[in-house]
Amino acid sequence: MVSREVLVKNSTGLHARPATLLVKKASSFKSDISIEFNGKKANVKSLIGVLSLGVTKNSNIKVMASGDDENLALEEVVKLIESIQE
């Protein structure tokens, strides 16, 4: 398992459109990918799971990946989170 802390810079946090983009990206990998925020954890391949965390702007989240392509999955998901800015 690999993990990394990420700062969410998007003005709406991980809601609606950003969360949808994140789920699509995560679903392209075999690995299990999850994010942790305020002590709660969610599967990044689940839109409801991501939205239920209520991640807001300037929040630090932990992204974790475990599986065959975990390093690439972590890298791509972190890159997407960092690049989403509305």
Judge residue 80's burial from the number of C-beta atoms within 10 Å of its C-beta, 0-12 exposed, 13-18 middle, 19 or more buried: middle
Q: Which residues are catalytic?
A: 15
Per the CB < 8 A criterion, the answer to whether 65 and 54 are in contact is: no
Q: Which domain holds residue 31?
A: 2-83
46: CATH? 3.30.1340.10
Report the number of distinct structural domains present in the chain: 1
Give the residue-averaged pLDDT of 7-14.
94
Predicted pLDDT of residue 86: 65
Per-residue pLDDT at 85 exceeds 80:
no
Percent over 70 (pLDDT), the chain: 99
Output the pLDDT for position 84.
87
Give the global pTM.
0.94
